[in-house]
Amino acid sequence: MSENAAENPNETDDITGSAMYDRDEPLSTAVIHAVADAADVDPAELGTPLYDQIDPDALDNLFSDKHNGMPRGSGHVVFSLLDYEVTVYSDGYVVVRE
């Protein structure tokens, strides 16, 4: 589990789903799959496109490596998608909560 999510033990109580971002795929794809898993549907059946809530290209670039190849510092972004709160941490951990 992400150190960020583990900082507050109560924060993990309401996790509906989670995923670890594989750097071989776009971060936005990991978010779609995590939300689809939480909703127990196929990613193509989510109904609300990710771009209605957040710019997928911006999300993909937010935590990408710096130009010198070094990882970015710590941080996270939180947004809503369907009835879920999605938190994406800089270390690649994606958390989905109801």
How is the chain split into domains, by residue range?
A: 3-97
Pairing of strands 15-20, 76-81: unpaired
Q: Report the pLDDT value the prediction gives residue 8, as an integer from 0 to 100.
A: 43
Q: Report the pLDDT value the prediction gives residue 67, as an integer from 0 to 100.
A: 86
The half-sphere exposure of 27 on its side-chain side, counting CA atoms within 13 A, is 24
Q: Report the pLDDT value the prediction gives residue 84, as an integer from 0 to 100.
A: 94
- How remote is the C-alpha of 56 from its chain's centroid? 11
Query: What's the whole-number mean pLDDT along residues 68-88?
Result: 89
Tokens encoding 16: 């509906």
pLDDT in tens, 28-72: 999 999 999 999 999 999 888 898 999 999 998 888 888 898 877
Residue 91 to residue 76: CA distance in whole angstroms: 9
Cβ atoms of 73 and 65 closer than 8 Å: no
pTM more than 0.75: yes
